[in-house]
């Protein structure tokens, strides 16, 4: 996350973590301080996608993934045993 935020948006690591912690504390993402890049074998992708399927901006994409259009489980990554990868768990509105 830190690398993408820096390379894509020019954000500092401090600012990125400040925003991530804000999102985490308000229930929008899972715990942001993790190095894990793989999901457990029983991770419920459909549950996460369903929570985004009616969003006015990206719901169409989540709904298509739920129908199996373009969905593929993420490639194997690294499980550091601390927390799962950062996952959006609640959809935000523009406000």
Whether the pLDDT of residue 55 is over 80: the answer is: yes
Which member of 9, 24, 31, 39 is catalytic? 31
pTM: 0.74
Q: Is 52 exposed, middle or buried (0-12, 13-18, 19+ CB in 10 A)?
A: buried
Catalytic-residue membership of 31: yes
Question: In angstroms, how far is CA 52 from the centroid of its own chain?
Answer: 11
Which run of H or of E encompasses 44? Answer: none
Arithmetic mean of pLDDT, 11-39: 91
How sure is the predictor about 86, in pLDDT bands with cuts at 50, 70 and 90? confident
């Amino acid at each position: 996350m830190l690398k993408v935020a820096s390379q894509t948006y020019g954000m500092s690591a401090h600012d990125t973590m400040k925003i991530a912690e804000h999102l985490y504390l308000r229930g929008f993402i899972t715990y942001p301080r993790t190095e894990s890049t793989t999901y457990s074998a029983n991770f419920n992708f459909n549950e996460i996608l369903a929570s985004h399927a009616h969003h006015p901006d990206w719901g169409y994409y989540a709904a298509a993934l739920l129908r199996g259009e373009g969905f593929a489980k993420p490639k194997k990554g690294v499980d550091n045993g601390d927390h799962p990868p950062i996952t959006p768990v609640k959809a935000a509105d523009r406000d």
